[in-house]
Amino acid sequence: MSGGGDDYKREESVVLIVIVSLAALSLLSLIAAFAYYCYITRKVSRRLNSHQLPKRSSSPAPLPLPPPVIPPQGKESPSSNSASDGAAAGALVVGAERGVQLFGYRQLHAATGGFGRAHMVGQGSFGAVYRGVLPDGRKVAVKLMDRPGKQGEEEFEMEVELLSRLRSSHLLGLIGHCSEGGHRLLVYEFMANGCLQEHLYPNGGSCGGISKLDWPTRLRIALEAAKGLEYLHERVTPPVIHRDFKSSNILLDKDYHARVSDFGLAKLGSDKAGGHVSTRVLGTQGYVAPEYALTGHLTTKSDVYSYGVVLLELLTGRVPVDMKRPPGEGVLVNWALPMLTDREKVVQILDPSLEGQYSLKDAVQVAAIAAMCVQPEADYRPLMADVVQSLVPLVKNRSASKSCNPNAQASRPLD
């Protein structure tokens, strides 16, 4: 009996050892399989991230955004070490980042003729703007930052970050940038006709100069600029507040199509209905909304006010602030607002150079839109989507009437 019991115990031990061994092998197999799965997943994820492209305007941009990756100061990209390297590559590009190109300082210096005065085309809040030509023949505008310190750096990073992500035909396109040593430069699409301000005030704007912008072109510029702000406010989450919208920041291409530019002062707005962000008051005199100037509370309605001022410029041909004018006429909004809703007085404030180009009905409607945009109370101002919807039929009707009347005064195309 005892011998049989020992055999049974030995068999039981063998079975137990086999079971434990199989369990251990199974566990090791599971661990190995899991480790391999993690390895493959990580590898695929890296590959996808390396090929990811910026989102198009059909979907909101993924804001808030991480800070841009900017090359370390004082170091140059290996491909920009010499002029011969650039020539061999056949392009000024030294790299690419999130859909925009990275340039070397010496390359942009050569493209703009050494940033000579003959190549200078404007002066923005960021710095001087120069005309340049890339080796492939593309004309570009190069903005050279001249504002030192933290604020200048913040403006540079904000503009790079926003324009690297935002995609709209009504915003000025960013081609690339340069961050080498102490140099900060932005490279944009070249806009052949400069800024709106130059065309509204050929002689500087103070009580003189006759604008050659006709009524249909002004209507179209108003609509395209409104679409630019509409995109920023309502197609991006959270919304982007431009904070320095003005006629000098509306650029015109060779066909006088408008693009909104200069995002150095832009801020991300509140994603809550009726919410605001508190910030120091920055902007340009005559364009700053009164509630923002008083409290520092910034909302998309602050941009709407600035847009209303630009619309008044297009209507009247007057600068926002001109204290050389008669008493009561120095501040454009204060002078024009009481007359914008009076059909007979609207005619009195219109730019004299527009005589005979507009229908009274259209002029009254545009004046009414401007009046709503520059209301002192922000809650009474419309959304930019409402402004766009109001302007679209005016532009289309004007375009149709020009097509049906070949003897009408010649103007640039509206579409």
* 136 given a catalytic annotation: no
Residues of the chain with pLDDT under 70: 1-9, 33-34, 36-99, 124-125, 147-151, 204-209, 272-275, 399-415
- Structure tokens of 43? 């590898």
Asked whether residue 354 falls in the same domain as residue 263, the answer is: yes
Asked whether residue 174 falls in the same domain as residue 223, the answer is: no
Asked whether residue 248 falls in the same domain as residue 367, the answer is: yes
User: Residue 24 domain-assigned?
Assistant: no
What's the number of domains the chain is made of?
2
Asked whether residue 138 falls in the same domain as residue 229, the answer is: no
Domain end, chosen from 171, 189, 207, is at 189
User: Residue 46 domain-assigned?
Assistant: no
Contact 373, 307 (CB under 8 A): yes
Asked whether residue 245 falls in the same domain as residue 299, the answer is: yes
Asked whether residue 255 falls in the same domain as residue 396, the answer is: yes
* Other Cβ atoms closer than 10 A to 31: 10
Burial 74-109 (b: 16+ CB within 10 A, else e): eebbebbeeeeebeeeeebbbeeeeebbbbbbbbbb
Domain end, chosen from 189, 204, 239, is at 189
What pLDDT score does 39 carry? 61
Asked whether residue 95 falls in the same domain as residue 145, the answer is: yes
What pLDDT score does 400 carry? 61
User: Residue 14 domain-assigned?
Assistant: no
Domain end, chosen from 189, 211, 240, is at 189
- Structure tokens of 59? 């979907």
For residue 317, the one-letter residue type is G
CATH code of residue 259: 1.10.510.10
Residues 136-150: tens digit of each pLDDT = 889 999 998 876 666
Give the integer Cα–Cα distance in Å for 372 and 382.
7
Asked whether residue 205 falls in the same domain as residue 181, the answer is: no
Asked whether residue 108 falls in the same domain as residue 245, the answer is: no
Which residue in the list 244, 262, 303, 351 is annotated as catalytic?
Answer: 244
User: Residue 330 domain-assigned?
Assistant: yes
What pLDDT score does 75 carry? 33
Residues 222-267: tens digit of each pLDDT = 999 999 999 999 999 889 999 999 999 999 999 999 999 988 888 8
CATH code of residue 111: 3.30.200.20
What pLDDT score does 23 carry? 78
Asked whether residue 394 falls in the same domain as residue 377, the answer is: yes
Among residues 271, 285, 292, 353, the alpha carbon closest in space to that of 322 is found at 285
What pLDDT score does 100 carry? 81
- Rounded to 10 deg, the angle between the 300-316 and 360-373 helix axes is 150
Asked whether residue 168 falls in the same domain as residue 256, the answer is: no
User: Residue 7 domain-assigned?
Assistant: no
DSSP collapsed to 3 states, 164-176 = HHCCCCCECCEEE
- Domain span at residue 311 reads 196-404
Asked whether residue 226 falls in the same domain as residue 310, the answer is: yes
Give the integer Cα–Cα distance in Å for 333 and 330.
9
